[in-house]
Structure 1
Amino acid sequence: MHRRTLLATATLMGAVMSDTNEAEAQPAADRENTLIMTLKDGDVTIQLRPDLAPRHVERIKELTRKGLYDGTPFHRVIEGFMAQGGDPTGTGTGGFRDRGYADLPAEFVPASRARFLRGTCGMARSQNPNSANSQFFIMFAPGEFLNNQYTIWGQVTAGMDKVDRIARGEPPRTPDRIVRMKVLADT
């Protein structure tokens, strides 16, 4: 009986120590590469991917830090596909070119490194692959057909339920807006 208790205690201690070691081994959030996007229903956390798209991530952070995404609508929201926003005009034709932000060249990566899955954030563009400016989209579902066609710059890591509640439409009758977007390091 004593041996069973000792064995159970050792097993439990090993599990506790294993959990502690795993928690300690997990890296802290990279505050410089984490966005907090506040929507009407709450906050969405997006982990930026400078390893995949350094120029696009830099642009997203710069526009965010200048408050240029605050108040912009989600102008194209397709059920089962994605929510698109980041256009200051709210029409799907705008960007910040008039404020000196040139279009960005595509930063495609092999699908083996990153794929369009639920919560993936990509840059919107025209038919020209090198025309991304400020507009972006967040996937509601996987979209493998977008791999190597659009630049991936981030991944929703918390708050996807808030993204799921964005009003649908092209454009929505009453579009939801980004209340505020911040880089976590700045908070």
Structure 2
Amino acid sequence: MELIDDIYMDMRILEPIPPFQFEGISDSIHQSNLKNYDQILKDYKLRESAIGIDTSRTVLVIHDSIKLPHKPNLKYLKNHFCSYQIKTDSLIQSSVYKIDLNKFKSAKFNFMSSASFPQNSEIWNIEHPFHIGAAISFTTITFDTNRKFGVLEGGIVYGRLNGHGFRIYIKKENNDWIIDFIEETWIS
């Protein structure tokens, strides 16, 4: 759940960006833009309040079939954890598997398999009786030889052309896996 909390952002409550004063734009148009922005901001505040008291859980669509990464992540693993002098004499790639979504428990989210939805961007073209917050996918984990460090990739999509990818570096501390760092790899 820590990973979901670190990567998920509720797009419904992002504050609108104020209008810019562009060179060459007249003062009257700029004032009109500011007035329109005031209405957008009022609408946002109402929406934010309504979402704040909404007790229904957001649906996160999970691609539960974990796949191999597109590129070998060994070089990223070695570069990120270079100060630890990790052993990478043999690449350990976790096997391809299916996530058991029944193990995920959250007061904020309902997790649903992507197999229940249209594939690719078609998921966003259909009305649902619930709010889909995002569609999320992950690759397998690439471990060092001693399985103390790892790296995996993922992506989160909030709509047809709204998402980003990330590389997640993890390490073992006191027999628990923790997130060491998350870096952005792509944005749409």
TM-score normalised by structure 1 residue count: 0.27
